[in-house]
Homo-oligomer: A and B are copies of this chain.
Amino acid sequence: MTSQDFTDTSGRPGTGSEGRAEILDAAAQSFMEYGFNGATIDDVADRIRATKGRVYHYYRSKIDLFLDVHLRAMGIMIEAVRPVAEGPGTPAERLHAMALRHAHAIMENFAYQKVSIQGLEKPLISSRGARPNAMIEKVVALRDEYESLFAGVLEQGSAEGAFVEAPPRQLSKPVLGALNWLTLWYRPELSPTPETREAIARNLADFVLRGALRRPDGKADGKAGHAG
């Protein structure tokens, strides 16, 4: 899958990718700040000092724009994580590298990921407009594909005895939860340096790796706590 697959260009009047990208960035910011209901095409246009007409040149409606933010958000994650998920190394090494990249991708594309994590459901339920089902299905398929990258590595690690035995989706949920929680507590304006971000990413990656690893002493429940 190439990066082209991550934005929807089917049947759109405008195709210039620079123009689209700028609009999409502004839309991600607007949805992040005001939510689906509060965001407006006017606000998106204002952010890039453009006219509403220019936005409508690329996107037919607010829903279109919202769904394209979701597609792009998932595309960013898959592009960041797939190479290490499918690369060389033990499952533990790959899980750690995937978690690092996942955390960095959230921090570096904060508006997209924050909108993405909020999910599609509520805005589309409350929206009165027609639902472009093909795009919704694409977003859902990308989500599944992304979770499968984690579930696959976790399954390998369990099979090899490095990770605890558990159905892979039972491990991928808390792994992704620990990582995605970043979208709720990270404050871009307070953590501007690459070093801060690296420390946050490493802390999360170490945590989820420990969570997945089988303990050499075989203890993984409440009874394991009697240290020393």
Q: Interface of A with B (CB < 8 Å)?
A: 33-35, 37-38, 89-93, 95-97, 117-119, 122-123, 125-126, 157, 160-162, 164, 166, 170-171, 173-182, 184-185, 203-217, 220-228
- The interface residues of chain B lying within 8 Å CB-to-CB of A224 are 92, 209, 213
| Most-contacted residue by chain B among A177, A180, A223, A228 (CB, 10 A) | A177
Q: Are A211 and B207 in contact (CB under 8 A)?
A: yes
A210 contacts which of B97, B179, B215, B223 (Cβ < 8 Å)?
Answer: B215
Q: A92 and B126 in contact (CB under 8 A), knowing A161-B227, A176-B181? A: no
A125 contacts which of B34, B174, B225 (Cβ < 8 Å)?
Answer: B34
Q: Are B181 and A206 in contact (CB under 8 A)?
A: no
What separation, in Å, do the CA atoms of A100 and B179 have in the docked complex?
20
Identical subunits present? 2
| Most-contacted residue by chain B among A176, A209, A212 (CB, 10 A) | A209
- The interface residues of chain B lying within 8 Å CB-to-CB of A225 are 89-93, 95-96, 157, 162, 209, 213
- The interface residues of chain B lying within 8 Å CB-to-CB of A173 are 178, 181-182, 185, 204
Q: Are B221 and A206 in contact (CB under 8 A)?
A: yes
What separation, in Å, do the CA atoms of A93 and B219 have in the docked complex?
12
- The interface residues of chain B lying within 8 Å CB-to-CB of A203 are 166, 170, 174
A181 contacts which of B177, B205, B226 (Cβ < 8 Å)?
Answer: B177
Q: Which 10 A-B pairs have the closest CB atoms?
A: A92-B225, A177-B181, A96-B222, A162-B227, A174-B178, A38-B126, A211-B211, A90-B225, A37-B37, A174-B207
Q: Are A126 and B179 in contact (CB under 8 A)?
A: no
Q: Are B216 and A217 in contact (CB under 8 A)?
A: yes
Q: A204 and B174 in contact (CB under 8 A), knowing A164-B210, A211-B211, A217-B216? A: yes
A37 contacts which of B38, B97, B164, B222 (Cβ < 8 Å)?
Answer: B38
